Each structure stands twice: as C-alpha cells, then as structure tokens.
Structure 1
Amino acid sequence: MTKPSEELLPLDLRQPLPRADAAPQVPDGWEPMARLAADVLARLGPLVDRITDCILEEIPTYRSGLVPRRDLHGSVLRNIEATLGGLAEHRPPRPDELAVRSELGTRRALQGMPVDALIQAYHVGYRELWLALVDAVPADQPGTATQLLTTATLVWQWVHEVTDALADAHASTVRSIEARAVGARQRFVELLVGGDLDGEEVPRLAGSLGFDPAGTFVVSVLRVGGDDLDAVELQHAVDGLPGRHAVVARGAQLVCVSQGSDPSGVRAAVRGIFPGAALALGSPRAGLRGARASLTDAELTLTVTEDGTTSTFEDAWLWATLTGAAERLDPLLTDGVDAAARHPHLAEAVRAFADAGFSVSQAGRELSLHANTVAYRLDRWAELTGWDPRTFAGLSRSLAALRLGRP
C-alpha cells in the first residue's frame, strides 16, 4: 500500500521540521536532567509501544476502532518527544508544540473520541513517561534523582497546558459539528413538511444525517408545556439508542424522525426528559414520502393526545383523522355538539353505552343508574339530534360530535 505523503498527514504524524537550534538549549546546572531526558529519548521506541498498549488496555473507547493504532502511536511518539525536549531545556511547551496538540484535539473530535477519554490517554502517557524517567536515573547519581524531583512541577505544567490546548480545540470542533448537524436536521424536517422530495437536497440531507432515504421512518411529535423546547437534550438522549434520529424544534413542538429503532426507546427517552409532554407517534412508513406521511400521522394524533400521555396513529387513527377534518365536519355535527352542551348527562349516557359494548345494562352499572334510565337518555338523545345511538350510523355520528365538539 502506498504511504501518504508528509503533506497529507496530520502534524503529529509527520516528521518534525528541523530547527535551527536543534541542539537542546540546556540551562547551567541542568545538565543531569538533560542527560536523563536524552537517555529516555534514546530508548523511545519501547516506551511509546508500552504507552500505546496501556492506552488501549485501560481506556475502552480507544478499543472501539475510532482511532487507528498507527494514528495513536504516532501521536504518543510526538508528544513524548516534545515533552522530553522541554524537560531537557527546562521550559514549558512552545506555541508550535501546543499547536500540534490543538490539531490533535480537532482530529479526535472529528473521529468521535470523547474529550474525557482523550485527556485520560494523555494522563496515561505522562504517567508512563515519569516512570521511565525514574527507572533511568543512575543508581550512583543521587543528584540526578534530586533534580528529577524538582521537575515534577514542570511535568505537571506540560500536562496542564497540553490538555488545555487539546480540550479547547476539541470543544470548538464539537460545537462546530453540532451546529452543522442542527442546521442539517432542521432543514431536513422543513423539506419533509413542504419541500420537493423529488429533488436532490432531501436525499442528500438524509444521507448526511445517517438515514437511508429508501428505508422505513417513524416520526414522533411531542407537545411540551411552556418554553422548555430543548431539542439538543433530547437529541443527545436518542443518540444513545439504536438506529438514527433527528430531533428539531418546530413551533411549539419537538419532532423526532427515527429509523432503525424501536419506538419504545424514543418513548422512554422522551419521558425521561419531558414526563408531562403529550407524545404522538406516526406509523412506520417507507421512503421520504413515507417519512412525510408519518409526520402527518403524528401531528394529527397529537391533536387528540392529552398531556402526559402517549398515543399512536394505529390506535387513534379515527379520531386523529376526523380532527384533521373538523372544519368540514362541523355542519354535520352541530346538532350533537349543541345537545351535548345543553344536556351533558345525555352525552354521558351515549359514551357509556359505546364503551360498554352497546349494552344498556352494563352502561347503567358503569354510571350507577338503572338500565331503564340509560335507555330513556338514549331515546332522548335521538329525539334531540335525530341520531339513534343504537344504530352504527347514529352512534358513530354521535361519538364524532362528542369527540370533536369537546373544548
């Protein structure tokens, strides 16, 4: 396999540039420590191998394959070289050395490595470097051992400045990545709602977010009381679930587009952050047009979902669909809506009759009324509305009026 050219490699995987003052600038009296650093530098290969092995063994994230071993080994090598050079010259990191570490912080963020694992790896490296320095102290040179002890403060200065540079670059990159992802998710949902699904932008955005444009989508919509619409918090929660998810704020709602995930996981994530939210789930549907249809399912279902509860389009499809057509149905249902407003006890009898499986006696038991009283109220309802609740047509129209006519 052809090796990449030096210019294409990250800074800490390239050969260091030659310096005009390549020989260490050792302060007077610091020669024992400079010789100790040179001794460790002469045996750098085994030390770097050991540090690399320790990082892979002690930090599970590094065993996930996010960072190739060659990449990790090269970064360890450059960092230990720079640190030994600084110790030999009794100085903190130079700006150019911190720039190399900053670039590494950016690269690790792009590779998906958490910052805590990155900093832990540096602590492992400095721990092993210190042990190597201690082991290299000649037994017949107690003065070198004493000088090494005074170096501890300088070593910790290197740890502090290097990890600060790493963490700052990592955080800046993560913020930039998150900002781009938020924009992509927002644009993707906007195009699902009203964009041209046959164009190139929607499939491209779907692919950039990890979705298969031809795969099956399930869309969830939740209504949260107040202004607590934290799409980022919910996004982080669902990122830990299987599959792919995109959460955006849309008006007074949060929309979560999911693929390849059990909807129960999304439910649990929502309830963990928004226990009082109304949550509605659309039906699983294939393709980008299916994603748009699932979003419509969820939005319609949300209109008949009470706060703190969860509804699915499969269960609530009738009322969700009728609610979406409420304006067209109003003239057909006015008599029932008016009768229910004037005589709520009659409306209560109609609901109980439907819930009791069309049994007058069972409805009476539910309402603590005699069956004859329930029968009378059903008759009275039919007189006022012209809809006999004992027939399918009359009962379905009555229930639609009661459901859609509720404030």
Structure 2
Amino acid sequence: MSLDTGRLPPAVTVSGEALEVLRSNTGQLTTEVGQHLEQKLPWYKQLSTEERASLRLIAQRGIAGLGNWLQDPAARSLPLVNELLGPAPTDLMRTISLQRALQLIRTIVEAVEARLPGLMPEADRPPMLEAVLRYSREVAFAIADVYARAAESRGAWDSRLEALLVDAVLRSEPGEQIASRAAAVGWQSSTGVVVIVGTAPDQADAVYLSHLRRQCVRFAADAVVGVQGDRLILLLGGVTDLRNGLERILAHFGEGPVVYAETEGPIAQASRCAQSAFAGYSAAPAWSRAPHPAAAQELLPERALAGDAHAKEALISGIYTPLLEAGHGLLETVDSYVNAGHSLEATARELYVHTNTVRYRLKRITEVTGWDPMEPRDAYVLQTALSVGRGL
C-alpha cells in the first residue's frame, strides 16, 4: 500500500456551537493549562515570572488558534500554522530549548484533552479530540521548523564572526580589536593558542566546517575554523593533547603541508604565531622530508631562505647569539664540523684540538641551542643560523 503524501487528510468538522464554546472558554482553559504546567514540568517553576507569563500567552494563542484552524480549511498547512502562532515561536525560542518546547506542547495537549471534551456538546467531542491532536501535531512541526531555521541562521552568523576573528589575527590588528572579536565568538581561553594552517579540501562547506569544529573541541577548549582562498586555518585555545589532536583532524585537510605554531600568550597576541604558521606552510615544500604535520619551528631554515624575518630573528636569538655568548669556540666548532663533512677527526685537525674536545663542544652546542649538530637536519639548522647571524 502506498501513501499519498501530497494530499491533506479531510478537514475536521465541528458545529458552530462547539466553536463558540471553545472561544468563550479560552481564558479558563489557559488558566488550567498554566496550573497543569506547574504540576507536570519541574523546570517551569524555575522560570521567571515574565517567562512563565510569556509561555501562558503562547498557550492562549495556541488555544485561540485551534478555533481559527477548525474554521478555516486553508489553515491546514505548515506555513499557515507559523503565521497563526504569530511571534510565539520566537518568544518560545528565547525562553526555552526545543526539547522543552516540545514538552510544553505535549503538556498543554494533555490539559486541553482532559478539560475540553467536557465543555463540548456530546456530538462534537470525538471530532474535537481529533482536531486537538492534529492541530498540536502541526504546531509541533511548525515550532521545530522555527528552531531549525534559527539554528541554521545562528550557525551562519557564527561562521562570519569566526572568519572576522581569523582575519583580524592574520592581519595583526590591534590586540583590543582581536580580543573583542574573540569575545564575540565566545573564546574562553586566557592563554595558550595554537594556529594550524593547511590546504582546504574541495568541499569545505558549512557542514564540513561544523564537523571539523566538533572534532577540535574534543581536545581544545576553543576552536575557530576559517577558510581563506585555498587555505584552511584553525585557531585553537586550551589544547590538552596537541599531538593526538593533530592526528584526529589531519584527514580533514586537503593535499599539501599542514603546519602549526604555538604561543603561550592570549589570543590577542597570536598574530605573530599565525604569521609563523603561514610562513611555514609556504616554505614547507622546500623540505622534501618535512614531517606531516610540521611545526613552524622545525621549518626555520626554509622560512629564513624565503625571507621570513621572524624565522631569521629566531635563528639569531635562539642559536647564533647563545653560541656567540657561550664562547669556548662553539661557533667555530659548528662551522668546522659542518664544513668538514661531519667528521670529528677532520674538525679536530682544523681546530688543533683533541677529538674528545670536539665531542664535548658538540654536546655543549646541543645543550645551549637544543639542536644536535650530529643529527643531519639539526646540523643544517645550525649552519643556516650561522649564515643568517653573519649577515649572509
């Protein structure tokens, strides 16, 4: 048996006397509904006086709307039910959640079902009960539709606010403006920001971004997602497990590098962090064996070669200057060791020292800079730092 979903069921017919009884008892029914709500819904008592009055007004509109619905056959459609309720769904949405709104409708129907038949002429009681059930069903669908459209609109607005925050951070707007935009999206973390940049997939629509955001909040207190051109940008705050978190979201990026940068400061001071992540993303192809994802800090040589001033500054302040200040021939040892093909003996001969002295200095270099010259990649970072520090 097939269902004809395009045809409405036959209209419910009641007498004019029944309609008059319904209209004349709207006030009494509304009062009894209010009492029933207080008895059946614990959360109803916790509402403010103004909120309870708003819900009672909604009940009154609904009961009055039942009479109009019965009288006008054209009202048996979902759009007209929305109009029939007037601003009620909007009032309802501001006061309670959708789940509670549906509980409210169910409780109102129970109260009306219990009282209304006793007021009706006997012949009108069965059709009136049927009318209450069908009308309440349409009202429930109408209110659910209003909530759904409001959620969709709110989601679109939130996405615009997030895009403005991402843009403000990337453009290095004043800290006050960034903080204001962060507050607008509900950013809670006071310190600690991670910026992740990668390639956006082809289908980076609202549904995709929403799903990615839900994945991010599993390991971060705050998550802002934005797309600029072909790049996907994440601003994360309050990250608890970055390594596992990155593995969780890596599949959401398109092909190409994914680079992240961290700062211990607040979101208002995250612009430099974001610039480092973007510079790392642009420079990552220069390192064929770059990890995926890669930290912007791991890409200092490539970033410096691409002209990133922040990377050059980091190489000088984090490597060149500490080695220079540490003395004891550490700079010379790095230079000789790299140019001698990473040979301890050749380095010792060039510096006129014992190989054990070279070993000691290499160990000290690791302690001072955090980069191990005996590791090929670290040695390249150290060599680049020396070149930048000497003004090459």
TM-score by length of 2: 0.59
Shift of 1:286: 1.7
Shift of 1:117: 4.6
**2:155 pairs with 1:203:** no
Q: Could you tell me whether the CA contact under 8 Å between 2:200 and 2:232 is conserved in 1?
A: no
Range with bigger deviation, 188-197 or 121-130? 121-130
- Structure 2 SS opposite 1:216: coil
Q: Could you tell me whether the CA contact under 8 Å between 1:243 and 1:260 is conserved in 2?
A: yes
Choose which of 218, 221, 233 in structure 2 pairs with 1:255: 233
Choose which of 112, 118, 139 in structure 1 pairs with 2:101: 118
Range with bigger deviation, 274-283 or 150-159? 274-283
- Structure 1 SS opposite 2:202: coil
Choose which of 69, 80, 84 in structure 1 pairs with 2:63: 84
Deviations 1:265-302 (A, max 9, x none): 99289539739987654324223453223324544666
Range with bigger deviation, 71-80 or 392-401? 392-401
- Structure 1 residues 169-184: aligned runs within 5 Å: 169-184=146-161
Q: Could you tell me whether the CA contact under 8 Å between 2:202 and 2:254 is conserved in 1?
A: no
**2:316 pairs with 1:322:** no
Shift of 1:55: 4.2
Choose which of 375, 385, 388 in structure 1 pairs with 2:342: 388
Q: Could you tell me whether the CA contact under 8 Å between 1:87 and 1:155 is conserved in 2?
A: yes
In structure 1, the residue matched to 2:210 is 232
Choose which of 256, 271, 276 in structure 1 pairs with 2:249: 271
Q: Could you tell me whether the CA contact under 8 Å between 2:193 and 2:266 is conserved in 1?
A: no
Choose which of 191, 196, 215 in structure 2 pairs with 1:216: 191
Shift of 1:192: 0.9
Unaligned runs of 5+ in 2: 1-12, 309-335, 345-357, 366-371, 383-392
Choose which of 187, 192, 196 in structure 1 pairs with 2:169: 192
Q: How high is the sequence identity, in percent, across the aligned residues?
A: 13
In structure 1, the residue matched to 2:33 is 47
Shift of 1:403: 9.0
Given the superposition, is the C-alpha separation of residues 79 and 154 from structure 1 closer, same or farther in structure 2, using an over 3 Å criterion?
farther
Shift of 1:84: 3.1
Amino acid at match of 1:244: D
Given the superposition, is the C-alpha separation of residues 201 and 117 from structure 1 closer, same or farther in structure 2, using an over 3 Å criterion?
same
Amino acid at match of 2:37: I
In structure 1, the residue matched to 2:127 is 150
CA–CA distance in structure 1, aligned partners of residues 115 and 242 of structure 2: 52
- Structure 1 residues 283-294: aligned runs within 5 Å: 283-294=262-273
Given the superposition, is the C-alpha separation of residues 114 and 261 from structure 1 closer, same or farther in structure 2, using an over 3 Å criterion?
farther
Shift of 1:201: 3.5
Given the superposition, is the C-alpha separation of residues 96 and 234 from structure 1 closer, same or farther in structure 2, using an over 3 Å criterion?
same
CA–CA distance in structure 1, aligned partners of residues 183 and 160 of structure 2: 14
Unaligned runs of 5+ in 1: 1-26, 330-381
- Structure 1 residues 14-93: aligned runs within 5 Å: 29-32=15-18, 34-35=20-21, 38=24, 41-42=27-28, 44-52=30-38, 54-56=40-42, 68-87=47-66, 90-91=70-71
- Structure 2 SS opposite 1:151: helix
In structure 2, the residue matched to 1:24 is none
Q: Could you tell me whether the CA contact under 8 Å between 2:212 and 2:252 is conserved in 1?
A: no
CA–CA distance in structure 1, aligned partners of residues 231 and 146 of structure 2: 34
Deviations 1:200-232 (A, max 9, x none): 53332222122369x314124153574243323
Given the superposition, is the C-alpha separation of residues 56 and 246 from structure 1 closer, same or farther in structure 2, using an over 3 Å criterion?
farther
Given the superposition, is the C-alpha separation of residues 84 and 43 from structure 1 closer, same or farther in structure 2, using an over 3 Å criterion?
closer
Given the superposition, is the C-alpha separation of residues 231 and 269 from structure 1 closer, same or farther in structure 2, using an over 3 Å criterion?
farther
CA–CA distance in structure 2, aligned partners of residues 154 and 179 of structure 1: 38
- Structure 1 residues 239-250: aligned runs within 5 Å: 243-250=221-228
Q: Could you tell me whether the CA contact under 8 Å between 2:219 and 2:241 is conserved in 1?
A: no
CA–CA distance in structure 2, aligned partners of residues 276 and 31 of structure 1: 68
Shift of 1:248: 0.8
Instruction: Kindly report the root-mean-square deviation, in angstroms, between the aligned alpha carbons of the 2 structures.
Output: 4.8
